[in-house]
Amino acid sequence: MRIANLSGRAHLVVDGRLVDVERASGGRLPADPMALIPALAEIGELPVPDDAPALAGAALGPPVPRPSKILAIGLNYRAHAEESGLELPTEPVVFTKLPSALVGCADDIVIPGGRTQVDWEVELVVVIGRRGRRIAEADAWSYVAGLTGGQDVSDREEQFRALRQFTMAKSFDTYAPLGPVLVTPDELANPDDVGLSCRVDGEVVQSSRTGDLIFPVAALLAWTSRICTLEPGDLIFTGTPSGVGFGRDPRRFLAPGNVVESEIEGVGSLRNVCAAGPAYA
């Protein structure tokens, strides 16, 4: 099952077309994408109206537009830890991104004037489907509503300004493109081994598989839910592979005009143009 957000309303993707869930179900299902997340199992088959719009070219919003929280995992690929010059973590390294950073799969990444160290980080993103506390690793996938793609855009100057300041450095408005759709795990051959890649202006800068995660999805849900209750619609950015601009020699960063394309196997692609914004200060 694939769920998209079109004009703030939940749509089921059927044969490349977008079916408004609330209208097609005669009001049985909610229009709000957030309210639909814990009810995905109730969707079933829906009729496809003759005027259902095509998925291709649709202006999609983030499939999960208003999560209560976004948790993100640092240094979760061995090669990324190495390029960062850091030791491999023995437990997950967790920070947050603010939900106000979310934008859709084709929206601009707005770089404030004067910011010169803005980096790319393609990630597989987990969407929580039901409330969970102290989740057993063996049961973790039953708490997952679906998977989607994300960019953990990062301002390295802010991140390493004094003490490590991950949250604000990764939470500028537009610094969390998400999408294009939410895909339920049964749609993927192996949800624990998904390919992901990132291109900047057509050049492949990142390419890996989630089978290389140091802490896989189930381990992340078990570890994080020891500390905080996971709620339906919460997002977990699972970490980025090697190839970020900060780890290159010479270092390379995003600037207005760059095009960032992020692809998640079995989920789809995001294409975000970097645009100039007002000065940061």
Domains of the chain, start order? 2-58 (no CATH), 62-279 (3.90.850.10)
Distance of CA 70 to the CA centre of its chain: 9
117 and 252 in contact (C-beta within 8 Å)? no
143 and 221 in contact (C-beta within 8 Å)? yes
Q: What is the pLDDT of residue 117?
A: 97
Which of these, 101, 104, 106, lies nearest to 155 by C-alpha position? 101
CA distance 70 to 128: 10
- Coil vs helix vs strand at 182: strand
138 and 110 in contact (C-beta within 8 Å)? no
CA distance 281 to 275: 17
Q: What is the pLDDT of residue 280?
A: 75
175: which 2 tokens? Answer: 């610094």
**What tens-digit pLDDT sequence spans the chain (281 residues)?**
999 999 999 999 999 999 999 999 999 999 999 999 999 999 999 999 999 999 999 999 999 999 999 999 999 998 877 877 778 899 999 999 999 999 999 999 999 999 999 999 999 999 999 999 999 999 999 999 999 999 999 999 999 987 778 999 999 999 999 999 999 999 999 999 999 999 999 999 999 999 999 999 999 999 999 999 999 999 999 999 999 999 999 999 999 999 999 999 999 999 999 999 999 76
Q: What is the pLDDT of residue 81?
A: 78
The H or E element containing residue 135 is none
Model pTM? 0.97
The H or E element containing residue 173 is none
CA distance 212 to 97: 23
